Amino acid sequence: MGKATGFLEFTRELPADRPVGERICDWLEFHQRMPQEQLRTQGARCMDCGTPFCHTGLLLNGMASGCPIYNLIPEWNDLVYRNLWRQALDRLHRTNNFPEFTGRVCPAPCEGSCVLGVIDPPVTIKNIEASIAERGWDEGWIVPEPPQLRTGKTVAVVGSGPAGLCAAAQLNRAGHAVTVFERADRPGGLLMYGIPNMKLDKERVVMRRIEQMQAEGVNFVCNLEIGAAYAAEKLLADFDAVVLTTGAGRARDLTVEGRGLQGIHFAMEFLTGNTKALLDGDGAVISAKDKDVIVIGGGDTGTDCVATSLRHGCRSIRQLEILPKPPVERAAGNPWPEWPQVYSMDYGQEEAAVIFGQDPRLYQTSALSFEGDASGSVASVRTIEVEWQGDGKGQLTPKQQPGTEQTHPAQLVLLAMGFLGPEQQLLDALGLERNRNSTIAAEYGRYHTSVPGVFAAGDCRRGQSLVVWAFHEGRGAARECDRYLMGETDLP
């Protein structure tokens, strides 16, 4: 490395976020950028560690350890330290089509497996990644790169989320004519409508890449649902190959008493409607203004619901988390380089703590029922505490604790409990084989479904996962699709 003793000399630093009182009044990104000299110093902390676990992309205990797309992290950290930003961008683009996306929304499993993290705070990999990409846009280094030759082959990509965009970008650069079908009114899928604007700016960041892809020759067709307005059989007839990247949009429901009351919504209905209203210039479809809000689910989507509700001006906010509160430091059963399961507050919880004086999460708490008012709208949520107990077969299950019931006021309830798999109508129409969990059956690494010429990647194949895994699978499916069309492939 350029600074062999950097990890001994410098401490971890992150750019300051915009003040909570300021940022909850708008929908602008809350992360600020760090001066380049500070970024160089942070790059100098990257150790010459010999075995850089940061880019291994392993799955340990079911969680990512290291970067699933194998970003060449030590190399571009070193290049940033040596002020070779253009070369750092080239290294970053070798493995990542959209580093400005992952640099904003990825939970950074690379940092969780950083060797320096064994003894000190890890290298600020995620911030450096986003900064390299933004420097590339600022300097005009990122420009359309249309293929020099076209193969004459046509490929349909169904779904324009993270996996679909990666697959489309790679297949287009291989010279195929790529058409991306998206049923929403704008391309981007999860990146456009599933992640709030304050985490990932739609017009400045997402559409910037979409426009680059369009300039490179990718055709986006929106407001069209395959299997409805466009028959699945026609798709197979019109294209030489198809890549399905439809995501895993079937939300997990909570079937308890009172579920049919008005004011209870799935999280994605709330988040999608809010972003669409923001982009269209209309008011929020589902508003949290002046309401007591209960978010059920403690993951990233739940956090986004908390932050969005705060920006609406909610009266109060609570987030129910059925799991126990994590420890402050790694437990003995959670050693490095596994993803560190430790207590932290994401941006939404940080904002709620400033506004209301406490972390909004209630751990080991489950909803018992919803209670309504005379008009049929939800008025409160009854909860009960749970204890996680072994069942004698190595599995832990939550057991309700009588006497711990509470009632919380709520005029808006948001269900953010994860997803069960892809919607099934298109898969039925194509006659695809499925796994027991309803995902598309396609072997990892090959991505070929039971129908010749049809590939599947991302959440519709692997189930709900991280954006970075969607990138990994989108690139992989593009590689195998190219091999199917041409007999060989040069795609990485």
pLDDT tens for residues 363-421? 999 999 999 999 999 999 999 999 999 887 878 899 999 999 999 999 999 999 999 99
Pick the last residue of a domain from 366, 398, 417. 417
Pick the last residue of a domain from 358, 384, 417. 417
pLDDT at 229: 85
Mean pLDDT of 335-348: 95
- 258 and 244 belong to one structural domain: no
Q: Does residue 358 have a pLDDT over 70?
A: yes
Q: Looking at the domain assignment, is residue 148 inside a domain? A: no
- 108 and 180 belong to one structural domain: no
Q: Looking at the domain assignment, is residue 147 inside a domain? A: no
Rounded CA-CA distance 4/11 in Å is: 14
- 438 and 388 belong to one structural domain: no
pLDDT at 48: 83
- 403 and 338 belong to one structural domain: yes
- pLDDT tens digits along 87-125: 999 999 999 999 999 999 999 999 999 999 999 999 999
- 245 and 361 belong to one structural domain: no
Element (DSSP H or E) covering residue 413 = strand 412-415
- 244 and 308 belong to one structural domain: no
If we measure between CA atoms, which residue out of 181, 273, 167, 164 comes closest to residue 222?
Answer: 181
Average pLDDT, rounded, for the chain:
95
Q: Which two tokens stand for residue 277?
A: 């209203």
Helix, strand counts (H, E) of the chain: 17, 18
Rounded CA-CA distance 265/308 in Å is: 14
- 35 and 46 belong to one structural domain: yes
E-assigned strands of 90-225?
Answer: 154-158, 177-181, 219-221
Number of domains in the chain: 3
- CA contacts within 13 A on the Cβ side of 440: 33
Rounded CA-CA distance 291/277 in Å is: 19
Q: Looking at the domain assignment, is residue 207 inside a domain? A: yes
Pick the last residue of a domain from 395, 417, 439. 417
> Of all residues in the chain, what percent carry a pLDDT higher than 70?
99
- 195 and 220 belong to one structural domain: yes
Q: Which two tokens stand for residue 122?
A: 């890890």
3-state secondary structure of 39: helix
> Which of 46-50, 74-78, 162-166, 475-479 is the least confident region?
46-50
Residue 115 per-residue DSSP state: G
> Of all residues in the chain, what percent carry a pLDDT higher than 90?
93
Q: What is the pLDDT confidence band of residue 1, given thresholds at 50, 70 and 90?
A: low
Residue 124, domain CATH: 1.10.1060.10
Q: Looking at the domain assignment, is residue 145 inside a domain? A: no
**More confident position, 264 or 63:** 264
pLDDT at 71: 95
If we measure between CA atoms, which residue out of 274, 205, 239, 189 comes closest to residue 484?
Answer: 239
- 378 and 353 belong to one structural domain: yes
Structural domain harbouring 318: 253-417
Task: Output the furthest CA–CA distance in the chain (Å, rounded).
Answer: 71
Q: Looking at the domain assignment, is residue 1 inside a domain? A: no
Residue type at position 36: Q
Q: Looking at the domain assignment, is residue 298 inside a domain? A: yes
> The whole model's pTM is what?
0.95
- 215 and 345 belong to one structural domain: no
Question: Is-contact 440 426, C-beta < 8 A?
Answer: no
Sequence-distant (≥ 6) Cβ neighbours of residue 52 within 8 angstroms: 73, 74, 115
pLDDT at 306: 98
Residue 340 Cα distances to 51, 57, 124, 405, angstroms:
19, 15, 15, 31
Q: Which two tokens stand for residue 46?
A: 């990257």
Q: Looking at the domain assignment, is residue 216 inside a domain? A: yes
Handedness of CA 263, 269, 275, 280 (dihedral sign): negative
Q: Does residue 51 have a pLDDT over 90?
A: no
- 18 and 115 belong to one structural domain: yes
pLDDT at 50: 85
Residue 320, domain CATH: 3.50.50.60
- 389 and 279 belong to one structural domain: yes
Q: Looking at the domain assignment, is residue 78 inside a domain? A: yes
Mean pLDDT of 274-288: 90
